[in-house]
Structure 1
Amino acid sequence: MTHISDTTLQQGLANRRQVLGDAWVEQSLRGANRLNVEFQRLITTYAWDSIWSRPGLDRRTRRIMVLATTAAMGRWEEFELHVRTGLMADAADPQAAALDVDTLQEVLLQTAVYAGVPAGNTGMAIALKVLRELGQEPAPASFFASQP
C-alpha cells in the first residue's frame, strides 16, 4: 500500500463528490476491493486532488475539457458520466461544474471538428440519451432555420 496523506485523500474525495455527486462516489467506494482499492486511492488523490484542486482552471472548464478529451479518445463511459453528473449538478454552485444543453452542443461541435465527425456523432447520441433519461429532452428545432 502506498502512503497517501489523509488531507490529500479527503480533499480528493471532497472534489470528487462536488463534481460527480455523492451517489456516484458512494457507489465507487462500495465497489472497492483488494484488486481496485489502490486504483481508487490513486484517482482520488492524483486526478481529484492534484489536478481538480489546481487554481489554473475553474471546475466547469475542467469538466468541458474532460468531455472533449474523453469523446476524442472514445472513452464513452467516462464521457457519459460527466454529461450526466454535469447536467444533474447545481448550477448555482460553481464547484459542482454544472452543464447545460448549449454548452454540450458547443463541446460536441468542437469535438466533431477536431476529433472527427464519428466522435461528435456518438457524443451527441449519448448526450441525447442522458438528457432523455433526465427528463430534459431538447425541444424540436427546424432543420432549415438559421438559429435553433
Structure 2
Amino acid sequence: MLYLEDIKIGDRFISREYEMTLAEIKQFAQAYDPQPFHTDEALAAEHPIFQGIAASGWHTAAVTMRLWTECFPIANGLIGSETSVRWPRPTRPGDKIHVEVEIVAITPSRSKPDRAIVTYITQALNQTQDVVYISTTKIVVFKKETS
C-alpha cells in the first residue's frame, strides 16, 4: 500500500489489460445505461456517431476504477474529492483496455498535516493505444502513521 511519502509528482502506474466483451457491454447497459447503441447491434450499426455497439462510458469508467485499484494501491483507499471525465473515443467489444496513471500535483492540507490532495491524470487506452477515457482526479492521501 502506498502512503503520501511513497509518491511524487511524475510517478506513473500502469495496469493490466482488461477485455471488454460484447456480452458484458450489453449486460452493463441493460442494468445501468439502456440505450440502443449499447444494447442492440442492428440499431447501433445505424447510429450516426457510433456506427456499431459501443460500451457505455460509465462501463468504461467502472472498469477503469477496477484497474486503478489494482495498479494504484493507495493506503486507506482511493478517496475521491473531485474529478473531470472525457470519453474521446468509444470502447468497442473486443477492446483490451489498460490504465495509465500519472501523478501531476501534490497539495498538502493546510489544516490537517497528516494528508494531502494528490492530483493525477488517468488514461484508459485500447489495444491500439487509442484513448477511450481520460480523467483528472483529486484524491486524499494520508501520511504513514508514526509511532
Same fold at TM > 0.5:
no
* TM-score of the superposed pair, with normalisation by structure 1: 0.23
Q: Which has the higher strand share?
A: 2
